[in-house]
Amino acid sequence: MNKSANELLQLVRKLVPPLSPGFYKGQAGRIAVIGGCEDYTGAPYFSAHAAAVFGADLSHVVCEKQAAAVIKSYSPNLMVHPYLYESDNVPVGEDANNWVDTKVLPKVHGLLDRIHVVVLGPGLGRDELMLSTVEKIIAYLREKNTAVVLDADALFLICQKPEIIQGYDRAVLTPNIVEFKRLAKALGVEHDDLEEETRLVAKKLGVTVMRKGSEDVIVNGDILIKSSLQGSNRRAGGQGDTLTGNIATLLAWGDAYSQGLWSHPQGEITKNQIPVLACFGASCVTRYAARLAFNQVGRAMQATDLHAKVGEAYKAVIEDQSFSIPDKSSTKI
């Protein structure tokens, strides 16, 4: 059936758990971001902290050991775990793959067993050992049927080995235009119409794809929705990392909604609609945060400025029932 953008937003709002004294810590979202290396520490912070300020109860970062102290310094609200290793940091005399299997993965698995949604990729880097570790982590997440959002360097890995995510309907991929074209080429998909090309990539992988751009196109199976709420034309690096954290929280809430954590009418939202609604809601909030940030600082806007507006944007877009999206067209869901 066709839904307007505002009707979609109303569905997103239904995924938000009430603030109830009957809930205990962790029920409203336990998120882990796997990423961050010596060279890139901001991206995992933006993703994990966005999940927290959007409303997740607990937010973790699992990063390369050299990045942990830096990421910890950004915020005391995050739990930072220095479990991962790049090739250069494996202790001398140790076999790298054996080190990962015996020293790294048991710690990572122990944490992931308690997590609702995982974000993979922000600031990960492309070290060979790091990427092979992530490949093993994806296999474990599939085994546990844990929802996962893949971005940045995790998408680079998928381009090399699409089979590691193929057919996993709990996966959400968030490529920008360049990353999407690289992914489409790796899959042998080519179409003049970007909307149709997005549909073909999502179908070939069997996952949810959110192709970011001037208009975000979100596809899962036969469902295709678009997000075109006005944002900002400023393209400072790091803004997409905040988006992944926002998506992760809504995915966690979608699971809680499906499992009946709180009382709500049955049958309004199906499980296969939750990933696209999570992407749509996160897109709207992130875009609105970008607009607020740009209106405040203009061309000087950085990812930190957008990030600082997530709470305000969430309150306006999600909590304010009078908030309305200028409707360009209806969308199939």
* Model confidence, pTM: 0.97
Tokens for 86, please give them: 């790049």
The per-residue b/e assignment along 45-81, b for 16 or more CB within 10 angstroms, e otherwise, is bbbbbbbbbbbbbbbbbbbbbbbbeebbebeeebebb
pLDDT, one tens digit per residue, over 222-232 is 999 999 999 99
| Binding-site residues for ATP | 212-216, 231-240
| Binding-site residues | 123, 176-182, 212-216, 231-241
pLDDT band with cut points at 50, 70 and 90 for residue 328: low
Q: How far apart are CA 131 and CA 129, in angstroms?
A: 5
% of the chain residues with pLDDT over 90: 92
Q: What is the mean pLDDT of residues 119-143?
A: 97
Q: Judge whether residue 1 has pLDDT over 90.
A: no
| Binding-site residues for (6S)-NADPHX | 123, 176-182, 241
pLDDT, one tens digit per residue, over 268-294 is 899 999 999 999 999 999 999 999 999
pLDDT band with cut points at 50, 70 and 90 for residue 333: low
The whole-number pLDDT of residue 267 equals: 82
**Best CA proximity match to 129, nearest among 158, 155, 98:** 98
Q: Judge whether residue 330 has pLDDT over 50.
A: no
The whole-number pLDDT of residue 100 equals: 97
**Best CA proximity match to 173, nearest among 276, 267, 31:** 276
Q: Judge whether residue 179 has pLDDT over 90.
A: yes
**Best CA proximity match to 148, nearest among 194, 94, 204, 208:** 208
CATH of domain 2-332: 3.40.1190.20
pLDDT, one tens digit per residue, over 255-272 is 999 999 999 988 889 999
3-state helix, strand, coil in the chain (%, to 5): 50, 15, 35
